[in-house]
Amino acid sequence: NAGVTQTPKFRVLKTGQSMTLLCAQDMNHEYMYWYRQDPGMGLRLIHYSVGEGTTAKGEVPDGYNVSRLKKQNFLLGLESAAPSQTSVYFCASSSSSGKYEQYFGPGTRLTVT
């Protein structure tokens, strides 16, 4: 049981490049989330999904897109990276039966130059 995994762990992009972050969970959770973590700001919700094929905007969705084609996967895309998107990105999942306790992945450290 791997829990929540994220790939890649590190990435450096140039301004304007695109990339996709992959999150996978093997706990059959309904809900999945993408957060960014910046110093002094805690975790801010980018997008989330309440089930396969559904996504919704969080607190800071601009510049990001997501897709949830399979229940176990939640993809975060950056179409045209900007230096302001330099951050650590965490994926999380939770189930309704688990009272929304979230399980987090190890994070992806992204630097945009």
Q: Is 74 in the site for another protein (CB under 8 A)?
A: no
Q: Count residues binding another protein (CB under 8 A).
A: 22
The residue to which tokens 């987090």 are assigned: 104
In this structure, how many other beta carbons lie within 10 angstroms of the beta carbon of residue 83? 11
Q: Is 62 in the site for another protein (CB under 8 A)?
A: no
Binding another protein (rule: CB under 8 A), the pick from 45, 52, 61, 71 is: 45
For 97, phi and psi rounded to 5 degrees? -75, -20
| Nearest-angstrom CA–CA distance, 87 and 84 | 8
Q: Is 27 in the site for another protein (CB under 8 A)?
A: no
Binding another protein (rule: CB under 8 A), the pick from 29, 75, 102, 112 is: 102
Q: Where are the alpha helices (DSSP H) in 13-111?
A: none
Least Cα distance to 16 among 78, 64, 86, 60 occurs for 78
* Residue with smaller CB distance to another protein, 4 or 81: 4
- Residues making contact with another protein (CB under 8 A): 31, 35, 40-45, 48, 50, 58-59, 90, 92, 99-102, 104-107
